[in-house]
Structure 1
Amino acid sequence: MERKDLYDEATFEEIVARIHQLTAASTPEWGQMSVAQMLAHAAEVQDVMNGKPLKGTPFLFRLIGPLIKRLVVDTKPYKRNLRTHPQYKMTDSEDFETQKDRLSDSIRSFRALGKSELKHPIFGRLSAEERGWAAFKHLNHHLSQFGV
């Protein structure tokens, strides 16, 4: 998988364009989330990357955080249907347009924060390069899930 960076303008514009290709009727190629739930999930993950607290982290996640970080920063694509943090599980019906706007705002906030190094609540310190890649990789995974 080509290593891209959400801080890169062309990559950012590519992600924004792919988000705008989604419709309320988009269906997943795998997984259980609706498109609105996926957008809410992606926005929540991005908000945590932007510094939002992560609540209720299971002990196992904290224990294996460094191992998870390796998966996150590796160039191999994510496997389908991986377990996620409880805060990232979206089970409610979500409004598509609201969540699309929320995700767009969240990735714009990510870029506005700049290339600072932040400590992730599970992965620990992430360099700007790791943050830009991790943000792209996660968004790419879920946009691909919905065929865009």
Structure 2
Amino acid sequence: MPTLFRKEYPRRSRAIELLFLILFIVLLIPISSILVTVLVGKAFEPLVDLYIDIVCKPFGALHNKINPYKETDMATLTKEESFTKKQIAEAKILDNNGTYFINGSILPVYINENGDTYLIEEYEKGKPSEHLIKDLFADGVLVAVNPIGYN
């Protein structure tokens, strides 16, 4: 039994023991949270990685095979300006300004401060929202990656 609860010990030693007990409890809270965080990280992080590798990736690949195009991934280009996925994948970059050469056609683009990519001709017409071409395909083929500084 601790001296804190024994009346035969002097009051001063019981007060010191009470202070140490309070200090121990106060310090135990942050130390225990750090220990729990470290233990959870070491124990559960590999399990989460294993779950992602076993469950999430195959289902994601299956979903991409079943439904490869998302609404935001599809280009809204006019028929004259549309290109196939293969043509875009084989596109040659003419310069570092975001101008692409696709199937014998030059496709200049503009990237605004929000990162939205537009065809310059359509941006000049004032219809950028209808001709957004950022993230054209779900497999990551982008039409443009660099801004050309067009104002």
Q: Which has the higher strand share?
A: 2
Ranked by relative contact order (alpha carbons within 8 Å, sequence separation 6 or more), the top structure is 1
Tell me the TM-score normalized by structure 1. Answer: 0.23
Q: What TM-score results when the alignment is normalised by the length of structure 2? A: 0.23
Instruction: From the two aligned structures, give the one with the greater helix fraction.
Output: 1
